[in-house]
Chains A and B, each alone.
Chain A
Amino acid sequence: MISGNRQLWKEVGWNGLRISVPGVWETDRLGDCYILMENDGFPVLEIKWNQLKGKFSPDKHLKRLKSKYHKQKTNQEIFSWVVPRSWSRILKGYDITGFKWDGKLFSGKGLILFCKDCKRATLLQFYENRYKKNSVSTLIDYPAVLSSFQDHNSKGICLWAVFDIRAELPEQFKLLRHSFKPGSYELVFEAEGYQLAFYRWSPASVILFDNDLRSFARKVFPFESCEGVSESRDCPDSIEFLVLPSLGFWKKWRQRLRKKKIFKWSRLWHISDANRILGIRAESNRPMDIDFLKNICSRYGVV
C-alpha cells in the first residue's frame, strides 16, 4: 500500500473540503463542489459535496445514484455495502453509508458521508481499474486518505490547495470563478463587497525574459488610467500597486452607488526557485486593511 512514505503525500483543499492523497494523484477536474483525481490517466477518487437544508436520507441518495447510473446505461451495478469497522472508527463524526459498484472498466467503493455539524453531505468514490490490478490506484491506503478527510474547519479558515498553489482564506470569501489554463491560473473570491483574486503565472523565466516584473505587472493589472495610483517595492522580487483616489464626500457616495470599486490593490512577486510569479489583486468600494492583505499574501504560495 502507498502509505509508507507520507512525505510523498499532498494536501488538496477546495471550497471547504480538505483531504490528503498520494503525491502521484493529480487533480483532473474541478467544479464548485466537485473534484476528480486521476492517476496515470485513470480516475482514482471522485468527491462531490453539497450543503443540505432539509433532512438527510442516505437511502434516497443511493437510490438517486442507482437511477443515474441506470439512465447513463454504463452497465454499472450499484449495491449497498457494509463499511468496515476501521473506516467507521476513522469517520466517527459522520453518518456513513457504503456502496460498491461494478462496471466494465471500473469497479469501486463509495461512501456517502453526512456531517451533523456543518450539514454537508459528501459523496466519495474510490475507483479501481479492472485492467490494472496491481497499479497504484488499486493499492489505495483507504484509511490514510479517509483519516485526512475534513469537510469543515472550526478555525474559520478555508484551504485552497490544487495543482501547485496553496492559499488560505477566511471562510467568508466565496469562490466566484476559477480558471486553470497552462501558464496562468486565476481564482477569484468575493465577500461583502470585497473581491480578492489570486494569480499564478509560469514559467517566470520566459515571461520575464524581455520584461521586468514592473512592466509585466502593468500589463496584467492596467492601473495607469486610474486616479491616485502609487507603486512600492519592498524587495526587488516583488511589486505593489495601490489605487486610492482622494475623493470628496459626494463623489465617494456616487462611486459607491454606482458600485464602482474605488480601492484597488495588487501585489506581484517572483519566486525564482519555483520559476513562478504569484499575484494577488484586491478590489473594493471601501478601503481595505493593507495588513490583512499582506497576511493573505504570506499565506499564498507554491507547493
Chain B
Amino acid sequence: MALFKKKPRPSPLSRQQALNCKPVKNVNVTEVRLENGSVMLSYPVGTRPWVATLIKRFSRAPEKPVTKKLELDTLGSAVWDLLDGNRSVKQVIRKFAKTYRLHPKEAEVSVTQFLRQLGRRGIIGFRPE
C-alpha cells in the first residue's frame, strides 16, 4: 500500500556537489570578537517538543530560548570569517589553504570537518548551488 510505503531517501550529494554548496550563517547566531582575535559564537539550541512542553508547564520563569556558546580557535575563526554566504565550500578551502600555505588536501579535510561540525550544531546551513 502506498500509504505505508517507506519514503525514498534523498540520494546523498556527490563530493563535487557538496563542495559547490554555499555555507550560510544562521541569522540567530551572534558572534563576539574576543581580545585575542578569535570568535565566540552564541547559538540557540533547539529542544525536543516534549521537553519544551514540560519546561513550559513546570517552569515559572518566562520562556527563554536556550543558547550555547562556542569559542573558535584561530583557524576556526579564520574559516568563520570566510563564510560570507557567497563563497562555496570549495572557494573557502582554496582561500584558507592560500592564507596559511597549507597542502590542499589538508585544508580540505580540516575545513570540511569544521563546517560539518558547525552544520550539526545548526550554526550554519548549506545552500546548494
Q: Are B102 and A27 in contact (CB under 8 A)?
A: no
Smallest Cβ-Cβ distance to A24: which chain B residue: B104
Most B CB contacts (10 A, CB to CB) among A164, A203, A206, A209 go to A203
Smallest Cβ-Cβ distance to B110: which chain A residue: A182
Return the CB mask of A167-182 against B: 1 if under 8 Å, else 0. 0000000000000001
Classify chain B: how many residues form its interface, as a range. 10 to 19
Smallest Cβ-Cβ distance to B113: which chain A residue: A182
The A interface, classified by DSSP as helix, strand, loop or mixed, is loop
Q: Are B74 and A206 in contact (CB under 8 A)?
A: yes
Q: Are B15 and A205 in contact (CB under 8 A)?
A: no
Q: Are A274 and B110 in contact (CB under 8 A)?
A: no
Classify chain A: how many residues form its interface, as a range. 10 to 19
Asked if A41 is an interface residue, CB under 8 A from chain B, the answer is: yes
- C-alpha spacing A183/B110, complex, angstroms: 8
Return the CB mask of B100-128 against A: 1 if under 8 Å, else 0. 11111111011001000000000000000
Q: Are A205 and B105 in contact (CB under 8 A)?
A: no
Residues of B within 8 A of A202 (CB): 100-103, 106
Decide yes or no: A209 and B74 within 8 Å by CB, A182-B110, A275-B100 being known contacts. yes
A37 to chain B, nearest CB (A): 11
Q: Are A203 and B109 in contact (CB under 8 A)?
A: no
Asked if A26 is an interface residue, CB under 8 A from chain B, the answer is: yes
- C-alpha spacing A182/B108, complex, angstroms: 9
Q: Are A205 and B100 in contact (CB under 8 A)?
A: yes
Q: Are B103 and A206 in contact (CB under 8 A)?
A: no
Q: Are A203 and B102 in contact (CB under 8 A)?
A: yes
Decide yes or no: A163 and B100 within 8 Å by CB, A41-B16, A182-B109, A206-B75 being known contacts. no
Residues of A within 8 A of B105 (CB): 26-27, 163
Q: Are B74 and A275 in contact (CB under 8 A)?
A: no
B119 to chain A, nearest CB (A): 18
Q: Are A183 and B15 in contact (CB under 8 A)?
A: no
Residues of A within 8 A of B102 (CB): 202-203, 275
A contact set with B: CB distance below 8 Å = 26-27, 40-41, 163-164, 182-183, 202-203, 205-206, 209, 274-275
With A40-B16, A202-B103 known, 12 other A-B pairs at CB within 8 A are A26-B104, A26-B105, A41-B19, A163-B105, A182-B107, A182-B109, A182-B110, A183-B110, A202-B100, A206-B100, A275-B101, A275-B102
